[in-house]
Structure 1
Amino acid sequence: ISSPCSGLPSSSCWGRGAQSVVTQPPSVSVSPGNTVKLSCTMSSGTSISGYNVYWYQQKPGNSPRYLLRYKSDSDKHQGSGVPARFSGSKDTSSNAGYLTISGALAEDEADYYCAVWHNSACHSDTDRWGMQPDTGHVRAPMKHTYSSKQYVSQDPRDHRGMIFMTFQ
C-alpha cells in the first residue's frame, strides 16, 4: 500500500491565503490480515484539532474514491459502501490524522490520499472532481510528480477551493 498525497500542479491552483503543509510517508507495507495505519501530519503553526481529515483511495486506472471524513469520534462520515475496516482518527499531540485499515486485504493495495479541510461540504463528491476551479469544487489529482515529499493545501479557512500537490 502506498500513500502519496494527491495533486494538481501549482499552475492549476486557485484561491488565496496562507498555506499549510501536510505530509505523508511515501509508502507502507502490510501483510494481508494485519492492520496498517497511514498518517497525515499537518505542519506546525496550524492545529489539526479543528479540521476535517479526508481520506481517498485510488487504484491504477480508476478515479479517486472517497473513503471517509474524520473530525472527531462524534463528527465523522464513512463513504458509501466503504467497509468498516477503514477508520479515521486524530492525534493532536502529533498534529496528525490517521487512516487505519484493519485486517487488510490484497484488494486494499492502492494509493491513499489525505486532505485537511475546515468543513464537510463537497469533498466526498468525487463525481464532481475535474470541474473548473471557479466552481469551488475539488479537482481530481493529476499525474504530476514533485521531488519534494510534501503536500501543500490552500489555507483550510478559505472556502473557495483546495490545492493539491503531489509527491512520491
Structure 2
Amino acid sequence: MSWAPLLVLSALCACSKAQLVVTQRPSASVAPGGTATVSCSISTGTIGDGHYPRWVQHIYGNVPRGLIYNTNVRPEGTPARFSGSRSGNTMSLTITEVEPQDDASYYCVVWAGSSSHSDTVPWGRETKTLNLRRCC
C-alpha cells in the first residue's frame, strides 16, 4: 500500500507584544519519498536572529520536540533530511525523502518580544500538520 502525505493547516495564532502576526501558506500534498516545504511569514519586518526562528515537531501522543533552532541548526536526534531556512519575512522547513513517521504537527515559532528573551512574553506561532493517509 502507498502512503499519500498531505499538509493541512490546523491552527493560527496572532500574538503579542509587538503585534506580530504569523501566518503559514495553504496546505499542499507531497508523495512518499518526496520533498515537503512548510513556510510561515511574519506580518512586519524581516525574520532575523533576534526572532530566534525555530521549528517544533509534535507527533500525536508524544511530547513536542525542537526540530530546528536559530533558523537552520539541528539538535542531536534531528535527521539531516530536515532543514530550515529564512528569507525576508518568511522562514521555511524542508523535509526531504518524506517518511510515514513524519506524520506530525509542525510549529513555526518566532520571538515577538522587543528586547531580551523571556518566556513570559508570548511567541508568535503557526501550526501545519503533515498527515499521512493510506491510499488505494
TM superposition score normalised by structure 1: 0.59
Q: Which residue of 1 aligns with 2:63?
A: 63
8 Å Cα contact 2:41/2:90 also seen in 1: yes
State the distance in 2 between where 1:6 and 1:110 align: 16
* Cα RMSD (Å): 2.9
Q: Deviation digits for residues 11-37 of structure 1, max 9, x if unmatched?
A: xx9xx8322111113533211111111
Give the number of the structure whose residues are more often strand, by fraction: 2
Q: Distance in 2 between matches of 1:155 and 1:21?
A: 12
Report the alpha carbon displacement of residue 54 of structure 1 after superposing the two structures with TM: 0.4
Percent sequence identity is 38
Q: Aligned pair in 2 of structure 1 residues 22, 104: CA closer, same or farther (>3 Å)?
A: same
State whether structure 2 residue 84 is matched by structure 1 residue 85: no
Gaps of 5+ in 2: 1-6, 129-136
| Alignment gaps of 5+ in structure 1 | 118-153
Aligned equivalents of 2:41, 2:74: Cα separation in 1: 21
Task: Name the one with the larger helix percent.
Answer: 1
What residue number does 2:101 align with? 107
Opposite residue 114 of structure 1, the aligned amino acid is: C
The runs of 4+ residues in structure 1 deviating greater than 6 Å are 165-168
With structure 2 as the length reference, what TM-score do the two structures score? 0.71
Residue 24 of structure 2 is matched in structure 1 by 24
